[in-house]
Amino acid sequence: MAKFFGNLHLVLLAGLVLTLAVAYHFQGASDGVIAIGGVTVLSWLHVFFGIVWIGLLYYLNFVQVPTMPKIPAELKAGVTGYIAPRVLFFFRYGALLTVLTGLALSIIKGYGHRAMTFAGATASENLIGLGMWLALIMAFNVWFIIWPAQKKILGLVEASAEEKAAAAPRALYASRTNTLLSIPMLYCMVNANLG
């Protein structure tokens, strides 16, 4: 048991296999696509990656960033050298995979263009379009503002002390902007799909 639960990738794979088995048992295969409660596996993956992304956004903003000033200097290297790079890996790929699966869903379901141009046939399509735009802005912030700044802050790329000092507020402002945008984005996504 220790070997199994000590391997995150194995646990994730087993969770995916278990999910597919549950979906197949309770929903069966429809047109060759396994559905989970009437939602395709792609929808499920979109939600899963979204939880990874937004969960880490909230971890960073609610826990790690406010706690860093309180950590003794001799212990900060453990966070910046080991924890933060790993968190930022899952954070940025969670963002990427959330966006890609969401865009794929909108195209497959046939509402992508209408939603993105706010020319939806329903209020729900326009609401999901707003959520999609908010998510795209947030993903842009992750990949093109937060990540480049964090690479300097964490010493993953060469940067002077001045460059590191300038990168810190840039990363913080983009991350706090994402926290702010995540609230209406989640509202749009949930209400467009369930409202």
Question: Per-residue pLDDT averaged across 157-180, rounded?
Answer: 97
Question: Per-residue pLDDT averaged across 83-102, rounded?
Answer: 97
Edge-first strand order for the sheet with 39-40 is 29-30, 33-36, 39-40
* C-alpha to C-alpha distance for 56 and 62, rounded to whole angstroms: 10
CA distances from 2 to 6, 7, 15, 59 (A): 6, 9, 16, 27
Q: Which of 25-34, 49-58, 64-73, 142-151 has the lowest mean pLDDT?
A: 25-34
Whole-prediction pTM value?
Answer: 0.88
Question: Per-residue pLDDT averaged across 166-178, rounded?
Answer: 97
Does the pLDDT at position 36 exceed 60? no
Quote the pLDDT of residue 183.
Answer: 98
pLDDT digits (tens, 9 = 90+) for 4-31: 999 999 999 999 889 878 777 776 555 4
Does the pLDDT at position 195 exceed 70? no
Average pLDDT, rounded, for the chain: 91
